[in-house]
Structure 1
Amino acid sequence: MRRRRGGRVLVLGGARSGKSQFAERSLDAARSVAYVACGARPDGQDPEWDERVRLHRQRRPARWSTLETQDLVAVLQPDRTPALIDCLSTWLATAMDDCGVWSEQPGADDALAARIDAVVAAWGASSRHVVAVSNEVGSGVVPATSSGRRYRDELGVLNARIAGGSDEVWLVVAGIPQRLR
């Protein structure tokens, strides 16, 4: 994949599809990269999650810096250093939790919509070279719970909106990347 400064690239794929590795390889030539980790920090409470994070960290070159944040609007501000956001799926899950969607707090839906709108607007306006990874959920099994269906629907809409403001969109299936845009 050839890069130009300021490109916004979305990489979609299912669980364990190779999407993160593809996104990482797309930035191999960069002198430095800001790796933006949107997931929970390992804390020993979930050994499987802790192992996933360890493997991601082990794969990254030493010249990359890591930023653990949910503030994607700040990440998308102009910067000469390319950024890799991994991933929008974990960002959304945390945003839904922070906004009170799961506990049905008053105003939760509006708070979530505002947070998503801000990220989508920042993505569309960003001049920074940024690659974002997200799970493609539209082809999967329909979740058995209403909360699972809500998350799947919100992520599908977020992915579509981010794709709409992207210069390139890739789908990775079974380790094989396919350019969609």
Structure 2
Amino acid sequence: MAVILITGGARSGKSTRAEARARSFAGQPVYIATAEALDGEMQERIARHRARRGTDWIEREVPLDLVPALRATDGGGARLVDCLTLWLSNLMHAGRNWEHEVNALAATLFNLKSPVVLVTNEVGLGIVPDNALARSFRDAAGIMNQIIAGVADEVEFVVAGLPMKLK
């Protein structure tokens, strides 16, 4: 079993890289989407991702309950979670205890049989946000990324479509 974390900035090529990594394992890959199509722009984004991936994926839409989804899909092909930062945003918006959820995810990753490829955004490389909500999200994302990177077997940072192995 492998846990692979792929991080980088917006439009860096993270998802394309993660799809290739997930496909490299045996079995039919499972795409676990954390995004919700709440507006036209997000609907278009989701459609572009689906078109690029093709039809060989099993798809699950999981905006909040990621740990149960990983357990339910274990034992088959690799799972691709795209993405942890949207999942974090969903948890915070729903008023859920994100720290508890992230720690539960980290603990669960140790006990899975099938590979998991996780995509996340590195949001802490830019300027300090000008409002408390944005700073809170940036800080939570940084903490989440550190926790998941700590349990991952491999960590890659993608810049301009080029992956750099960090771990």
Task: Give me the TM-score of the superposition, normalised by structure 1.
Answer: 0.84
* C-alpha contact (below 8 Å) 2:6/2:155 kept by paired residues: yes
1:74-126 deviations in Å (ceiling 9; x for gaps): 23334222100000010000001112xxxxxxxx6xx3322222122112333
Aligned to 1:105: none
Aligned to 1:23: 18
Aligned to 1:102: none
Q: Which runs of 5+ in 2 are unaligned?
A: none
Identify the match of residue 31 of structure 2 among 14, 22, 35.
35
> Do residues 48 (structure 1) and 78 (structure 2) align?
no
Instruction: State, as a whole percentage, how many aligned pairs show the same letter.
Output: 39
Identify the match of residue 139 of structure 1 among 125, 147, 150.
125
Output the aligned Cα RMSD: 1.5
Identify the match of residue 141 of structure 2 among 139, 155, 176.
155
* C-alpha contact (below 8 Å) 2:6/2:156 kept by paired residues: yes
Q: Distance in 1 between matches of 2:109 and 2:27?
A: 23
> Do residues 57 (structure 1) and 50 (structure 2) align?
yes
Q: Distance in 2 between matches of 1:85 and 1:65?
A: 12
Q: Distance in 2 between matches of 1:96 and 1:15?
A: 20
Task: Give me the TM-score of the superposition, normalised by structure 2.
Answer: 0.91
> Do residues 73 (structure 1) and 67 (structure 2) align?
yes
Equivalent position amino acid for 1:12 in 2: T
Q: Which runs of 5+ in 1 are unaligned?
A: 1-5, 100-107
Q: Distance in 2 between matches of 1:47 and 1:72?
A: 24
* C-alpha contact (below 8 Å) 2:19/2:80 kept by paired residues: yes
* C-alpha contact (below 8 Å) 1:8/1:168 kept by paired residues: yes
Q: Distance in 2 between matches of 1:113 and 1:27?
A: 27
1:59-83 deviations in Å (ceiling 9; x for gaps): 1131211100122212333422210
Deviation at 1:47, TM superposition (A): 2.3
Deviation at 1:37, TM superposition (A): 0.3
Q: Distance in 1 between matches of 2:57 and 2:49?
A: 12
Q: Distance in 1 between matches of 2:23 and 2:76?
A: 16
Identify the match of residue 168 of structure 1 among 136, 139, 154.
154
Question: When the two structures are aligned, how many residues end up with a matched partner?
Answer: 163
Higher alpha-carbon deviation: 160-169 or 125-134: 125-134
* C-alpha contact (below 8 Å) 2:124/2:142 kept by paired residues: yes
Aligned to 1:92: 88
